[in-house]
Amino acid sequence: MSKAPGPIKKVLVIQYSQTGQLTALTEQIITPLRADPRIAVHLEALVPLRPFPFPWPFFRFLDAFPESAHMVPPALAPLSLKGDEDFDLVILPYQVWFLAPSQPVTAFLKHPIAQGVLRGKPVVTVIACRNMWLLAQEKLKSMLAAAGARLIDNVVLTDPGPTLATFITTPRWMLSGKKAGFWGMPAAGLTDAQIRSSRRFGLALREGLLNDREKGDEPLLAGLGAVQVNPRLYFSERAGTRGFFVWGMLVRAAGPPGSWQRMPLLSLYAAFLTLMIFTLVPVSLALQALLRPFMAQWLSRIKTQFERPSGASSERSHIYGE
């Protein structure tokens, strides 16, 4: 009797989530892959040796910004990977911390074993965050390039609430664990419908893999509404990134993560940051609204640039039941 053929495609999936949101999203995407006997999924859960708490105590939250912004990797528990595995595709879900990839994901990308596994491999990034991810993706792309990996798709899901409301609802969720809406504000985080409908990406990845399309240069997730860029947040991200970088340098000079010497600077920065969020962001948005006729072309260029490679159009979504 002939032996049943083994899986023909191997997929590596990275996993880290504090609230479970990114895990729920990843599950939707990988369920169709796991259900197919021709595809083997290897799940790599990232475990920081010094865990990041959820909900976050206020100072611990703030204390995470210098290393996040400077992409200083925290130590991870040993990976289950050896470094010589040969995957056909890597799915890299990540959340944004302080306009940069979250620290555990940065630690993975800078890990020598991960770098061995990623070399030459096609990567699909999946972002779930509040709504400011443009420059985090640029940073992540530079880490992928350093590891010799190739980005073929990017899926982005952002909190649907208005930007200024999410500046209140997300920190409240992170600091208290409370996600529900209050005082007329929307609930924090993604909706269940957003998470459920992400199954279409898994179905399309399965189809792409079974047709060897991950070997080519075309995205597998085009036409599925994978990413919608709000280019008006680009200016605030640029200003925020610069601020995090400079203040991050000062705080890091004061002491290592968790040290009391950082507290005065962190307190000062917290006040400064709050002021900036509720002045600079609305002013920048209002100015852009006024200058829209002059900036339209430039904003649309930014939108197109950051929506690559998967794109915003959704003409193929109906194929996957959306």
Ligand X SMILES: Cc1cc2nc3c(=O)[nH]c(=O)nc-3n(C[C@H](O)[C@H](O)[C@H](O)COP(=O)(O)O)c2cc1C
Contacting residues toward ligand X, per CB under 6 A: 17-19, 21-22, 61, 64, 95-99, 128-133, 170, 174
Separation of alpha carbons 84 and 137, rounded Å: 26
Q: Which is nearer to ligand X, 39 or 137 (CB)?
A: 137
Measured distance CA(231)–CA(219) in Å, rounded: 22
Residue 218: HSE in the Cβ half-sphere, 13 Å Cα cutoff: 10
CB nearer ligand X, residue 62 or residue 209: 62
**Shortest CA distance to 62 belongs to which of 242, 272, 235?**
272
| Nearer residue to ligand X within complex by CB, 26 or 206 | 26
Instruction: Work out how close the CB of 152 gets to ligand X at its nearest, in angstroms, rounded to a whole number.
Output: 22
Closer of 61 and 306 to ligand X (Cβ): 61
At its nearest, how many Å lie between ligand X and the CB of residue 87? 23
CB of 256 to ligand X, least distance (A): 18
Distances (CA, A) of 203 to 106, 127, 197: 28, 18, 11
Q: φ and ψ at 82, to 5 degrees?
A: -100, -25
At its nearest, how many Å lie between ligand X and the CB of residue 28?
A: 13
The continuous run of DSSP H or E covering 123 comes out as strand 122-129
Nearer to ligand X, 15 or 121 (CB): 15
Residue 122: its H or E element: strand 122-129
State in angstroms the smallest separation of the CB of 62 from ligand X.
9
Q: Euclidean distance between the first and final Cα of the chain, in Å?
A: 42
